[in-house]
A and B are shown apart, each in its own frame.
Chain A
Amino acid sequence: MDSGTDAQLLTALRAGDERAFVTLVRRHHDAMLRLASSFVPNVAVAEEVVQDTWVGVLRGIDGFEGRSSFRTWLFRILVNRARTAGARERRTIAVGDTEAVSGTEAAVAASRFDGGGSWASPPERWIEEVEDRLEAGKLAGFLRTAIGDLPERQRQVVTLRDIEGLTSEEVCSVLEISESNQRVLLHRGRSRLRQAIETGFGRPS
């Protein structure tokens, strides 16, 4: 039962298959918890949001027409609930794309370039080192921490795009952000992750 597409599991769930529900929950729980955590102040609230989302899924399952992927639909419900919960907890107003992606954030610190914009302190090498650690299973914890350290909106986009494998269109739909903001957040988030790996594992070339 751990195999099967979301669509197959959904059909089984509609027919009242409890195992299909558990399989769907297991498949998406970690991503949902991570995404929810980026909107609310603590894990306990994030867990409530996830549970609440599944209740919403069960209630709304007959209305889901499959025009978007199940995952997009699921994450949209989650984000709506997480925004509401986050606003309640923080007593602030939840915002979507009205919050501009503002300011400048360089992919690489300006101090690493000379006055003409050429590398003064070029990228340190780490690809080979990291592959060894990946095989030893030692990299996952480091990466999770680095992703956890990203500013929340960057973390949301990187999680959905690069861990969950959503398309840019799906991410825009889930987070209700514009294509260009999505790309800026993705760029900043990925750039920070690259820098974190370089800081952790790089050696001067």
Chain B
Amino acid sequence: MMRLRLWRRDLVCQQAVELVTDYLEGELTRSDRRRYEAHLAGCPHCTEYLAQMRKTIELTGTLTPDDLTPQMQDDFIALYRQWRADSPTD
């Protein structure tokens, strides 16, 4: 009986964009990774798309946390002191 895989044609772009996260996460099977990379080799648009997904992740990672306002910092100090005061262990 012929295996399904032999019937599968090369990836098209619409399928390739759905594989990007699995590719970046290292979760593609070896054969799917080969098919994806073979598609990239012949497709500048999907290559650009992958670069953009990598850049998107990188940009998200540059976001720095907002700092506490002085008021909120005071609230947390009060919360801590209250806990210390209530804490039976000291």
In the bound complex, how far is the Cα of B72 from the Cα of A51, in angstroms? 10
**Distance between B12 CB and nearest chain A CB, rounded to angstroms:** 3
A158 within 8 A of B: yes
User: In the complex where A29-B68, A183-B21 touch, is A193 in contact with B56 (Cβ < 8 A)?
Assistant: yes
Report the count of interface residues on B (CB-CB < 8 A). 43
- By a CB distance below 8 angstroms, the chain B residues around A12 are none
**Distance between A96 CB and nearest chain B CB, rounded to angstroms:** 21
In the bound complex, how far is the Cα of B9 from the Cα of A161, in angstroms? 34
In the bound complex, how far is the Cα of B12 from the Cα of A184, in angstroms? 20
**Distance between A50 CB and nearest chain B CB, rounded to angstroms:** 9
Across the interface, name the chain B residue whose C-beta is closest to A18.
Answer: B80
Tally A-B pairs: CB < 8 A: 124
Q: How large is the interface on A (under 10, 10 to 19, 20 to 34, 35 or more residues)?
A: 35 or more
Contact yes or no, A106 B80, CB < 8 A: no
B60 within 8 A of A: yes
Contact yes or no, B25 A130, CB < 8 A: no
In the bound complex, how far is the Cα of B1 from the Cα of A144, in angstroms? 53
User: In the complex where A26-B68, A117-B15, A123-B45 touch, is A194 in contact with B53 (Cβ < 8 A)?
Assistant: yes
- By a CB distance below 8 angstroms, the chain B residues around A26 are 67-68, 73
Contact yes or no, B62 A134, CB < 8 A: yes
Given contacts A21-B76, A22-B73, A122-B45, 15 further A-B contacts (CB under 8 A): A18-B84, A25-B73, A26-B73, A30-B65, A59-B83, A107-B18, A113-B13, A116-B12, A118-B12, A119-B45, A139-B59, A143-B59, A168-B25, A186-B21, A190-B53
**Distance between B64 CB and nearest chain A CB, rounded to angstroms:** 8
User: In the complex where A118-B13, A144-B63 touch, is A125 in contact with B56 (Cβ < 8 A)?
Assistant: no
Contact yes or no, B48 A123, CB < 8 A: yes
Which of A110, A117, A123 is in CB contact (< 8 Å) with B12? A117
**Distance between A37 CB and nearest chain B CB, rounded to angstroms:** 12
Interface of A is mostly: helix
In the bound complex, how far is the Cα of B21 from the Cα of A58, in angstroms? 38
A3 within 8 A of B: no
Contact yes or no, A127 B68, CB < 8 A: no
- Encoded as 1 (CB less than 8 Å from any A CB) or 0, chain B from 68 to 87 comes to 10001101110111011001
Question: Quick one: which of A159-205 are within 8 Å of B by CB?
Answer: 162-163, 165, 168, 183, 186-187, 190-191, 193-194, 197-198, 205
- By a CB distance below 8 angstroms, the chain A residues around B48 are 122-123, 125, 205
- By a CB distance below 8 angstroms, the chain A residues around B75 are 51
Which of A139, A143, A198 is in CB contact (< 8 Å) with B52? A198
Contact yes or no, A187 B52, CB < 8 A: no
